[in-house]
Amino acid sequence: MTQVAYTVKLGKLNSLTNTPTHYCAGCEHGTLTRLIAAAVDGLGIREKTVMIDSVGCSVLAFNYFNFDHIVAAHGRAPAVAAGLKRVHPELTVFSVQGDGDAASIGLLELIYAAKRSTPITIFLVNNAIYGMTGGQMAPTTLEGQVTTTTPFGRNVHMTGTELDVSKLVSTIDGAAYVKRASLAIQEISSQRGKVYTIKNILDAKKSVENAFKAQALGGFAFVELLSTCSINWKMPVLDAKRFVYDKIVKKYPLGLYKDTFGLEKQ
Amino acid sequence: MSGNRVYLKGNEALAYGALEAGLNAYFAYPITPSSEIPETLAKEFGNKKYPEYKFFLQAASELEAINMVIGAAGGGARAMTATSSPGFSLKQEGLSYAACMEIPLLIADICRAGPGLGNLGPEQSDYFQATKGGGHGNYRLIVLAPATVQEMALLPRLGFDLAFKYRNPTLILGDAFTGQLKEDVVFPELTTEHYDVSDWATTGAKGRAPHVLNSLELDYQKHFKHIGKIYEKYERAQANEVRFEEYRTEDAETVIVAFGIASRIAKGAVNRLRSKGVKVGLFRPITLWPFPQSQLRTLASQGRRFLVVELNTGQMVEDVKLAVGTGVTVDFVGKWGGTVPTEAEIESKIRRLEVVAV
Amino acid sequence: MSQTVAVAQPRADVVILDERCKACELCVVACPQGNLKLSTRLNHAGFHPAEFSYHGARGDCTGCGVCYWVCPDFAISEIKVRA
């Protein structure tokens, strides 16, 4: 074969360590890890980025990202992020949190961080279930969804209706950028028949970049990423992706909920 | 403030003491009887006298406040919060995490009567929570017990020094009485030195490997070693950081052991009894952890009796008994519910001890 | 892993780290040209890692990078394009 000269169009990211992840096959946590690393590399801020790891499937993220970390208690990441950012405003501080961490036990910390326009970035991985602890109900679990603590399907009379976190955060004055995107591939019809598109992942990629830009402009940024949990939903990976677009987006529509700096217009 | 004699409430003195010690960030939540601490620090924010004082915020809960302290302290800042007993219970989670992550921070607990809501009177019933580790897991807090408003002003400096020296949370365990009492204070020089946090703080991984402040260790052997290393620190602290005050103990037959406001009343009782010819003295621990075990053991070996006076149902008395060993008389005067014992009550107990001894 | 390529100068190449692949098949279904499928090999974790072939079911690899972004495990570690 003739020698061909290649350039690397997409390759290693400095913000990633080489450690293989513990995430389940097909889990969007891995995708988000790549998007965050690409954004941090792209903005050239690796050396002044600190991640506040939260309690959920992403708790071991300190093994995957090549920058400083503080691992917070369950739900407390926005508070830890706020404390660090206030004494080191030159740092870029962000967290990745699951539904339980951000919307259940940590709801106060999330809302007040937004309320105070704390210049930090919060990523919520919403898969409508508690993943790490084995599939219990989350505030975002859909009505009728079977989980280990709602074995007969979620009963909203007892447990309340689903919590739309992006909508809630967008009503807080202090939030500057609130976006709901999806990390799941989507099956769509095309001339070739049914194909899978990554357009949502690419849109999420821009949202991740915007969320860091919003922090640099001094604002509170929140991005909710719809994701799957094929293990705890007890579905094969592709069925789980389909569930996101068949059911979950109907409850949690994708879109831009707040954009004080007009980042998405750029 | 330094060099001048100022007339202050205990809580105010604590706040100014923290400022003189180079406080960088304070995260508040109000609770009686400690609220003067955040109120003073709110008032003094922006005062150019304290160039190190960079940030003040009232958090939405005690939990939010302690976690903000953890974030700021994780970045190497001198960060502090204060609370009273019900709030201290809430903060135990944060303290457990901070101890495991070896994050130095300063916290003050102006103890009030419990359990539950209790009342606003003084108690010393957080002793167990403070010294035995109120949060989960194996760890210790360094615990300092002020007895005067002057000590409320001086101990924040020692608190930060010990916290950063041992990379461990440090607690100033006050009480409602000492917090509300007004006395003269002379402040020391304003601190300008900085602690070296370069080998652990999360200040951004520039030109170095990343720093990870983490308490999760799924490898059991590694976790065993990690906590073992933390306990080596505690052994060094036990050997080097015990602080106490002895008052008229040289020839005392009975030694009262008391801390905080109880020690002030006990001192009065000592003077009262001494004027009547009774050989009694006071041993006042200033560090409740590390506890002055060997000093008490020495006193016991000299044949003294002990009377522990505390505002609780009997907490420090257990540590005194442990320290002095068997065959030593250790009696107890306790008062709880928000009130304090009188000198007369202490005197009558000592008289009864003397009768028994003869 | 060398593969038989019909053109003299392939437009793109995809580097896959076998040991990181968890056989989720997202790259297999997302690739517009059909250049990826699970191999018959097994990695140490017991998964059949994905493998790349320049000539796909629907066309040659264009170096679009869809597989790179969709892979949650960074098994698809490099997309190289002809300089």
Instruction: Please indicate whether chains C and B are in contact, defined as at least 3 beta carbon pairs under 8 Å.
Output: no
Has the ipTM of the complex gone over 0.85? yes
Burial B1-33 (b: 16+ CB within 10 A, else e): beeeeeebbbbbbbbbbbbbbbbbbbbbbbbeb
Cβ distance of A68 and B211 shorter than 8 Å:
yes
Shortest distance between the Cα of B57 and any Cα of chain A, in A, equals 10
Residue B304 is encoded by which pair of tokens? Answer: 């003294």
Mutate one of A76, A95, A107 to test the B interface: name it (highest B CB count within 10 A).
Answer: A76
Output phi, psi for A92, to 5 deg.
-100, 120
Q: A54 with A124: CB under 8 angstroms?
A: no
Cβ distance of C24 and A25 shorter than 8 Å:
yes
Q: Tell me the one-letter amino acid at B178.
A: T
Comparing alpha-carbon positions, the chain A residue that sits nearest to C47 is A25
User: So what's the pLDDT on residue C1?
Assistant: 47
User: So what's the pLDDT on residue B358?
Assistant: 56
- Walking along chain A (266 residues) 10 residues at a time, the average pLDDT comes out as 80 94 96 97 97 96 97 97 98 97 97 98 97 95 96 95 98 97 96 92 98 98 97 96 97 98 92
Residues of chain A in contact with residue B60, where contact means CB-CB under 8 angstroms, are 108-109, 112
Q: What is the mean pLDDT of residues B74-85?
A: 98
User: So what's the pLDDT on residue B355?
Assistant: 81
Where do we find the tokens 């370069």? B198
Mutate one of A196, A199, A202, A203 to test the C interface: name it (highest C CB count within 10 A).
Answer: A196
Q: Tell me the one-letter amino acid at C25.
A: E
Residue B128 CA: distances (Å) to CA of B89, B143, B237, B321:
11, 11, 19, 15
Q: Could you tell me if A194 lies within 8 Å of chain C, comparing CB atoms?
A: no
Euclidean distance between CA atoms B255 and B306, whole angstroms:
5
Nearest to A73 among B74, B93, B205 (CB): B93
Q: B81 with B53: CB under 8 angstroms?
A: no
Residues of chain B in contact with residue A72, where contact means CB-CB under 8 angstroms, are 67, 70-71, 97
What is the pLDDT of chain B when averaged over all its residues?
96
Nearest to A71 among B75, B77, B214 (CB): B214
Residues of chain A in contact with residue C68, where contact means CB-CB under 8 angstroms, are 10
Residue B192 CA: distances (Å) to CA of A97, B50, B189, C49:
38, 10, 9, 59
Of B183, B118, B117, nearest in space to B146 by CA: B183
Mutate one of A34, A194, A202 to test the C interface: name it (highest C CB count within 10 A).
Answer: A34
Three-state DSSP string of B293-344: HHHHHHHHHCCCEEEEEECCCCCHHHHHHHHHCCCCCEEEEECCCCCCCCHH
Q: What is the pLDDT of residues B273-322, one digit of tens each?
A: 999 999 999 999 999 999 999 999 999 999 999 999 999 999 999 999 99
Q: Could you tell me if A1 lies within 8 Å of chain C, comparing CB atoms?
A: yes
Q: Could you tell me if A23 lies within 8 Å of chain C, comparing CB atoms?
A: yes
Euclidean distance between CA atoms A117 and A220, whole angstroms:
5
Output phi, psi for B212, to 5 deg.
-120, 120
Given a cut of 70, is residue B4 above it in pLDDT?
yes
User: So what's the pLDDT on residue B1?
Assistant: 57
What is the pLDDT of chain C when averaged over all its residues?
93
User: So what's the pLDDT on residue B268?
Assistant: 97
User: So what's the pLDDT on residue B191?
Assistant: 74
Q: Could you tell me if A238 lies within 8 Å of chain C, comparing CB atoms?
A: yes
Euclidean distance between CA atoms A190 and A196, whole angstroms:
9
Q: B126 with B88: CB under 8 angstroms?
A: yes
Rg, Å, chain A Cα set:
18
What sign does the CA torsion over A82, A87, A92, A96 have?
negative
Shortest distance between the Cα of A182 and any Cα of chain C, in A, equals 12
Given a cut of 50, is residue B246 above it in pLDDT?
yes
Lowest mean pLDDT among B63-67, B190-194, C23-27: B190-194
Comparing alpha-carbon positions, the chain A residue that sits nearest to B202 is A68
Q: What is the pLDDT of residues B171-201, one digit of tens each?
A: 999 999 999 999 999 998 877 778 999 999 9
Residue B199 is encoded by which pair of tokens? Answer: 């080998």
If interface means Cβ-Cβ distance under 8 Å, which residues of chain B face chain A? Answer: 24-25, 27, 54-55, 57, 59-61, 63-65, 67-75, 77, 79, 93-94, 97, 101, 202-207, 210-216
Q: What is the pLDDT of residues B232-245, one digit of tens each?
A: 999 999 999 999 99
Tell me the pLDDT band of B133, cut-offs 50, 70 and 90.
confident
Q: Tell me the one-letter amino acid at A23.
A: Y
